[in-house]
Amino acid sequence: MLLERIYDHDLAQASYLIGCQAAGQAVVVDPRRDIQEYLDLAARNGMSITAVTETHIHADYLSGSRELAAATGATLSVSAEGGPDWQYAFDAERLSDGDAITVGNLTLTAVHTPGHTPEHLSYLVTDGAVTDQPGYLLSGDFVFSGDLGRPDLLDEAAGGVDTRYEGAQQLYASLRDVFLRLPDHVQVFPGHGAGSACGKALGSLPSTSVGYERLSSWWGPYLAAGDEQGFIDELLDGQPDAHAYFGRMKRQNRLGPEVLGVREPLPELDAATVAAGIEDGSLVLMDTRPVDAVHAGTVRRSLSLPNPGKIASHGAWAYDPEVDSTPIVLLAADADEARDYWDHLVRVGVDRVAGYLPSIEGLPSATPTVVSPAELGSTDHVLLLDVRGKGEHAAGHIPGSQQLNAGRLLWNQRSLPREGTIVTYCQTGVRNSVAASTLRRAGFTVAELDGSYAGWRRWQAEREHDAGHPAAASGVA
C-alpha cells in the first residue's frame, strides 16, 4: 500500500493519495484544485487515479475533486449524509455510513462523523493484502493532531444561526461512538495542520493515533468522565476569527466548483498595456514584493501580497470574485513563478488572471502612507484599526484601537469610516500590508503603522526605559 500526504503550507491543508501497487490504482481524498501534483505522483508510482472523494463540504479552500475526476475519468464520490440541507448539488456517487471505495486490495470505508459539519465523513483504510482490519483513519476535519474540527464555522462563515451547539453535541457523540471505539493502534491522518482556522490549537504533526489522542488530548478527560457540557464549553471557547471568504467556499463547494481544465501558461504582458488597464480600472496588479519594497513605492490601486507563501490565504482576503471581475496581473519574476502564484489563487477560486509582469517600471505609481509609532499620537486619524485576530487583540493591543480581522475587512466596509484617515496595524506588518491595500483599493484613506504592533511595543519599551520606568507587561488598553 502507498499512502502519500500532499500538504499545502499556504492553507495548512492535507490531501492524500492512497494506492494499491498490485493493481496500479489509486484514490485521492480531499484534493486541491491545482491537480498536477496528484497526476505526477500517480505517474511516478505507475498508478492510475481511479477514484476521487472528499470528507465534507470544505470552507477554507475550493475543492479539486471535480477537477481531478474530470482530468482522469476517475469515479467521484461525495457524502450522502447530513440531511437535505447538506446535499451536494452536482453529479457524483453518494456515500453513506458503511459504504466503501475499493482500489485494488484497498478498501476505504466511509464513517459518518458529524460535528464539524453535518455531512462529514471519515475514511477507515484497510489493506486487504495483509489484514481484514482497518489500520488507518483519514479523519478530514473531525480529529486533528491535538485538536478537533470547530463546529462553529457554519455560524461564523456560512450564515448558520446557533448551529455551533448542535455541532458540538454531534462532535462529542462522534468521538464517543466512533473514534474511541477504534483500536489504539489505528493511525490518524487529518485534513489540516497548524495554522488552519478550522480549529483553535492544531498540532503540526502530520499524523497521530487513536491511542495517543485518547491519552493526551484536551478532550479525552471530558469523554472519560462523560462530561458533555464541559466538553462543549471548552470546545467553543476561544475559537479564532473565521475568514469571510469561507462563506463563498461553502457555497461553491456545495454547488460544484467550476472545472478549469487545461490551463495554458500565463503570458508576460506589455507594461504599457497594463498601465492603461490600471489607469482605467480594467486591470488590478497583485504586488508580491516584501513590505519594505511596497512602502518605498508600489502601483496605484494594487493589492499587496507580500508573503508569496500565503498567496491563496491573503489573495482571498483582498479580492472577492463574487463581486469583482477585474482581471488580475501578477508581479512575478518569470512564467514559472507566475504559474505557482496562480496555482495558489485557484485553490480559493480566484481564477481570473490575465498574465504577469516582472517589474512595476512604467506603471502608474503610488507610495503608501506610513506613520511611525512616535508619530501615531500626533497623527490625525478617525480610527486606529487592529487587523489581527480577536485573540491577539485581547492578549495585547494599542490603546484606543478597534479590532477587525484582515480576512473580514472587505465584507465589513460599512462599519468603517469613509471620511478621514484610518491607521492600521497587525503584529509585524505583513497582514497589515494586505489589509491596507485592500482598503485603499476600496476607496478608504489609510496609513500603515510602521512595524505594526511589534514595532509599537519596542518603541514603548525604549521610551519607558529612557524615562526610567519598566515597560508594560501586556500593552492591553
Topology match between the domains 271-366 and 369-466? yes
Residue 177 has pLDDT above 80, yes or no: yes
Q: What is the pLDDT of residue 470?
A: 57
pLDDT interval class at 469 (50, 70, 90): low
Cα 463 from Cα 461, distance rounded (Å): 5
pTM of the model: 0.94
The 10s digit of each residue's pLDDT in 268-316 is 999 999 999 999 999 999 999 999 999 999 999 999 999 999 999 999 9
User: Is 271-366 CATH 3.40.250.10?
Assistant: yes
Q: What is the pLDDT of residue 160?
A: 61
Residue 207 has pLDDT above 80, yes or no: yes
The 10 Å CB-count burial string (b at 16+, else e) for 312-321 is bbbbbbbbbb
Per-domain boundaries in the chain: 2-255, 271-366, 369-466
Residue 476 has pLDDT above 50, yes or no: no
Hey, which residues does 303 pair with through a beta bridge?
286
Residue 332 has pLDDT above 60, yes or no: yes
Give me the sign of the Cα torsion angle 448, 451, 453, 455.
negative
Q: What is the pLDDT of residue 157?
A: 63
The 10s digit of each residue's pLDDT in 360-397 is 999 999 999 999 999 999 999 999 999 999 999 999 99
- CATH code of 369-466, in short, is 3.40.250.10
Q: What is the pLDDT of residue 330?
A: 98
Please, are residues 357 and 284 in contact by the beta-carbon 8 Å criterion? no
The 10 Å CB-count burial string (b at 16+, else e) for 441-476 is beebebbbbbbbbebbbebeeeeeeeeeeeeeeebe
Please, are residues 52 and 76 in contact by the beta-carbon 8 Å criterion? yes
When pLDDT is averaged across residues 75-101 and rounded to a whole number, the result is 97
Alpha-helical segments (H) within 197-245:
210-216, 220-225, 228-236
Q: What is the pLDDT of residue 168?
A: 96
Q: Which residue has the higher pLDDT, 193 or 197?
A: 193
Residue 113 CA: distances (Å) to CA of 149, 199, 212: 11, 16, 19
- CATH code of 2-255, in short, is 3.60.15.10
Q: What is the pLDDT of residue 240?
A: 84
The 10s digit of each residue's pLDDT in 27-74 is 999 999 999 999 999 999 999 999 999 999 999 999 999 999 999 999
When pLDDT is averaged across residues 118-124 and rounded to a whole number, the result is 98
Give me the sign of the Cα torsion angle 84, 85, 88, 91.
positive
pLDDT interval class at 477 (50, 70, 90): very low
